[in-house]
Structure 1
Amino acid sequence: MTLFKFFNSDSSAKETVNLSDSLAIDRRAIFRNRVNYGVNLGSLFVLESWIYDDLFKEVGGGNSEFEAVSKCKTQFGAQATGNKLRQHYESYLNKIDWNFLKNVNVTSLRVPIGYWHVNNGSFLNGLPFQPVADVYASAQPWTYFKTLVKTAGQYDISIVIDVHGLPGGANSEAHSGMVQNPAVFFKTPNYVNAMCNGILPIIVHDICLSFENIAGLQIVNEAYFDNNANDIKAYYLRATSNISKMDNNLPIIISDGWWPQQWSDWVSQNNISNNIIIDSHVYRCFSNEDKSKDAGAIYDSLPQTVQFDKGKADFMVGEFSCVLDEETWKRTKGDRNVHITKFGRAQTSLFPTIASFGWFFWTLQFKWGDGGEWGFVPQVSKNNLIMRSKNVKPIDSNRVAAIIAEHINYWNGKGSYFEHWRFEDAIRQAVYDIQSFNSLNNSRLGRWKSWTSRRRREYIGSKGDSQFMWEWDQGYQRGLDEFNQ
């Protein structure tokens, strides 16, 4: 059953939409399509030594999960290493304060996993993590992942599955699970085959179809910049095709490769905006350009330096923080805490206006301390991040009627024939949709490009196409602009 068929096929063309005939927008649809106020679970599964250093310290270092696990296996054996990983998973999950997340209205968790975690390492033949497959068979990360998903659902929190580590690497960083420089995933056919034919389908079958609170499947994290990106595009298209055959409504998340416009243009050109969300990461502590600025210059310029073409595609900010480089702080006068507050609030006021799938802070928790400006808990607790209120604002029906009258009056006398009922149908549908989302903890309707496009197609299927569909377009957009706040 499609979640997006809301109109009776026998409804009269000039009849205002009867909202009581619409199918209810269920929880799965809301989880997949709302604007998120979320956080990453960094180093739960894909280990990063600066966040959780247990295993790294035990074996005397290593800068990637593969290196640390390999050393540990050599020193202690596969079973014992698996037990150490299980202890880490349990400790991390037990430390999550679900009531805190619920109370501050976190809507989603982005959970980085590696391809080696999927189905407890049973797809590793011929892949770089094969030498430690027995460790993950022992550690059972997939079991812990399912427990996480189920628990999150009990708190109305969704999960974004982020395949953070790909075989051969989408980038050459340690957070890919193994340092490979240059990264070779996109140019290695057997690696791409393993993901598209085995690993991604089992994620969809075993998790995405089984749990209603899966918000999306991210098929790559931080793909390297490529001016042409032909190999990357080929992977994205193939993965999207395979996943959509299993579940055509599942959001598929790709990386912007540090060039958002390149990918919104590509998504639009390939007519896949209904399936795709583009993930862009916003950090202001790494580039030499940002290091050369003071704090105020960085947060004041965010509207100019973070721009997404939301008319072509849906976006998310999958990672950001409140961290600025020490070179920036040397150039900055005034109270550091005041600047951090301004920086965090500037980001979290901007992102929900341009990223229709919302934002995810990096990161939730750390082995030692609270993470400071990398830590979600202290930044929320200090009111440095603007979270969504759980209080629902009712929509004034008189205001809706006034907007409809305003539209009709504006066009009165400017032509001999219009189809103003399309405008009215559209704004009333928008109101219905917004209220349906609001009903789940004041969720806000998101994925504006995809959602509006689907609604438009449904409407044409129900009421027929017309040269006056511009009235429907204006009505639905006016409803979003006016009431989806």
Structure 2
Amino acid sequence: MTLFKSLKEKFEKKDFTTDVILSDALNVDKRTIFRNRVNYGVNLGSLFVLESWIYDDLFNEVGGGNTEFDAVSKCATKFGTNGAADRLRQHYQSYLQKIDWNFLRNNANITSMRVPIGYWHVNNGSFLNGLPFQPVAGVYANAKPWDYLKQLISTASKYNISILIDVHGLPGGANSEAHSGIIQNPAVFFKTSKYVSKMCDEILPFIARDICVPYENIAGLQIVNETYFDNSANDIKSYYSRAVSSISKIDNNLPVIISDGWWPQQWSDWVSANNLVNNVVIDSHVYRCFSNEDKSKDAGTIINQLPQTVSLDKGKADFVVGEFSCVLDEETWKRTNGNRSVFISNFGTMQTNIFPKMASFGWYFWTLQFKWGDGGEWGFIPQVSKKNLQLRSKTVKSIDQNTVSRIIAEHIQYWNGKGDKFEHWRFEDAIRQAVNDIQGFNGLDNSRIGRWKSWTARRRREYVAAKGDSSFMWEWDQGYQRGLDEFNK
């Protein structure tokens, strides 16, 4: 019997005007929590998608190179396919062995890891025919990055840490940066039909079936990292639509993460207009060290403006801050008077205080670890250790049922005499349902309900299916939202 069939039967046996939702009816399983909670997470930059400024070992072996394709190609030429594969395997093993899981769980209190991969890593390079990484397919077949990814997912599961699979590199590039695996300028992925078809018809469905369905601790599947800014974005919208459709046929509850292309409102409008709230989360990267506008400001100004500049329309769509750091440009520091360490602490604290209020899927710091040193203001471990990030609490707070009853009584009293008929029982059902949901999430390491747009819409649909629609569903809406506002903290 499914969870909500059980719930429906409980409703059918009761008088609607007196029914309250029982706690045993709304327990949520771990997979549901992993996919729907607010995340406090970190990126695993340069585990799979190699970036020389983070891990330079393979690049140094061959005397440089700007991208993973450069480094691996040169390595294969110099050491042969097996020799290049050996070096990749050594890198994967070294990176994974260096992860301090106890620190992440007990000190950083993370819930999730965002793991950038390239299309060339999927199933150990088995989809590379006709794609730019085809010349080095044999290296990945021998290095077996897909096996190491599964090992990572399994280990994370033991710590109740979820994995966000981030397809960071697309064939032809979603942008012209080195983190696409090959620098393609201009980037051509979205305008190349064979690349789009390969992703939507083969690669993304394989990831969904091979990783996202079998492993319960997958938070979602990100189908692109950063897209370039595009005023109309018709090609990007076409890819997103095809990809979401393809993935949802395999698992309609799997969150699909898209990029905001540096214009969040464009994509919250699109998600809302196309009724994709239940499937899509929008990734917005927040950096204050790259634009000329930010470089022209002092640190205090950037920090003080964060509440205005982190502008995400949470009323229309669910967001995640997939990347951010504590880095400010040296031009900013030249304009800043005062203690740099204090500014960095204020910057990190302000960001991580704002993000969970705006981005219902949470945040992921860039990045976890480096070959040399700790990464400084790019490094998650030093920023946590210096208490520069507002971390989540793992202390579970009980919900006072007297407070719940008081809120219900206040709602009824407020509307008393303001109309001839109401369905206040819907308000009561909703707030008690919200409380049960919150307690269910809290049961897994004090998780909080996230994806507020999607989650509330889901609960609303289930409630209407069980108790019928009504012109008084606004009371349910108010009750559920009040429950989240009061207790989902």
Match of 2:357 in 1: 353
**Structure 1 unaligned residues grouped into runs of 5+:** none
1:132 aligns with 2:150: no
From 257, 273, 281, the counterpart of 2:277: 273
SS in 2 for 1:395: coil
The change in CA–CA distance for 1:4 and 1:289 in structure 2 (over 3 A counts) is farther
Residues in 2 aligned to 1:447 and 1:119: alpha-carbon distance in whole angstroms: 30
Match of 1:22 in 2: 25
Contact 1:7 1:459 (8 Å CA) reproduced: no
Match of 2:256 in 1: 252
Match of 1:431 in 2: 435
Match of 1:96 in 2: 99
Residues in 1 aligned to 2:23 and 2:418: alpha-carbon distance in whole angstroms: 34
Listed as ranges, the matches of 1:230-245 within 5 Å are 230-245=234-249
Contact 1:321 1:361 (8 Å CA) reproduced: yes
Residues in 1 aligned to 2:94 and 2:172: alpha-carbon distance in whole angstroms: 29
Residues in 1 aligned to 2:4 and 2:78: alpha-carbon distance in whole angstroms: 54
Residues in 2 aligned to 1:457 and 1:201: alpha-carbon distance in whole angstroms: 27
Contact 1:37 1:105 (8 Å CA) reproduced: yes
> Per-residue deviation at 1:5?
6.0
Contact 1:6 1:23 (8 Å CA) reproduced: no
SS in 1 for 2:66: coil
Residues in 2 aligned to 1:197 and 1:2: alpha-carbon distance in whole angstroms: 31
Residue by residue over 1:178-226, the C-alpha shift from the partner in whole angstroms, topping out at 9 and shown as x without a partner, is: 0000000001011011101111011011100110000000000001110
Residue by residue over 1:367-408, the C-alpha shift from the partner in whole angstroms, topping out at 9 and shown as x without a partner, is: 000000000000000100011111011111000000000000
From 293, 303, 307, the counterpart of 1:303: 307
Residues in 2 aligned to 1:279 and 1:28: alpha-carbon distance in whole angstroms: 21
Match of 2:150 in 1: 146
From 291, 294, 297, the counterpart of 2:298: 294
Residue by residue over 1:399-423, the C-alpha shift from the partner in whole angstroms, topping out at 9 and shown as x without a partner, is: 0000000000001111111000000
User: AA paired with 2:291?
Assistant: S
Residues in 2 aligned to 1:171 and 1:5: alpha-carbon distance in whole angstroms: 46
> Per-residue deviation at 1:311?
1.1
Residue by residue over 1:231-255, the C-alpha shift from the partner in whole angstroms, topping out at 9 and shown as x without a partner, is: 1000000010010010000000000
Residues in 2 aligned to 1:180 and 1:313: alpha-carbon distance in whole angstroms: 31
The change in CA–CA distance for 1:373 and 1:47 in structure 2 (over 3 A counts) is same
The change in CA–CA distance for 1:45 and 1:432 in structure 2 (over 3 A counts) is same
Residues in 2 aligned to 1:6 and 1:384: alpha-carbon distance in whole angstroms: 46
User: AA paired with 2:29?
Assistant: D
Contact 2:26 2:437 (8 Å CA) reproduced: no
Listed as ranges, the matches of 1:366-445 within 5 Å are 366-445=370-449
From 218, 226, 232, the counterpart of 1:228: 232
Match of 2:458 in 1: 454
From 359, 364, 368, the counterpart of 2:368: 364
The change in CA–CA distance for 1:167 and 1:262 in structure 2 (over 3 A counts) is same
Residues in 1 aligned to 2:349 and 2:182: alpha-carbon distance in whole angstroms: 35
Contact 1:278 1:315 (8 Å CA) reproduced: yes
SS in 1 for 2:182: coil
The change in CA–CA distance for 1:3 and 1:207 in structure 2 (over 3 A counts) is farther
Residues in 1 aligned to 2:335 and 2:466: alpha-carbon distance in whole angstroms: 60
Contact 1:6 1:458 (8 Å CA) reproduced: no
Contact 1:6 1:21 (8 Å CA) reproduced: no
TM-score (norm 1): 0.99
Match of 1:340 in 2: 344
From 21, 35, 38, the counterpart of 1:32: 35
Structure 1 runs, 4 residues or longer, greater than 3 Å off: 1-6
Listed as ranges, the matches of 1:67-106 within 5 Å are 67-103=70-106, 104-106=108-110
Q: How many residue pairs end up in the alignment?
A: 485
> Per-residue deviation at 1:15?
3.9
User: AA paired with 1:164?
Assistant: H
User: AA paired with 2:98?
Assistant: K
Residue by residue over 1:136-172, the C-alpha shift from the partner in whole angstroms, topping out at 9 and shown as x without a partner, is: 0010000000000000000000000000000000000
Match of 1:8 in 2: 8
Contact 2:26 2:433 (8 Å CA) reproduced: no
Q: Which moves more between the two structures, 16-25 or 449-458?
A: 16-25
> Per-residue deviation at 1:22?
1.5
SS in 2 for 1:254: strand
> Per-residue deviation at 1:23?
4.5
**Structure 2 unaligned residues grouped into runs of 5+:** none
Root mean square deviation, CA, Å:
1.1
Match of 1:192 in 2: 196
Residues in 2 aligned to 1:190 and 1:131: alpha-carbon distance in whole angstroms: 18
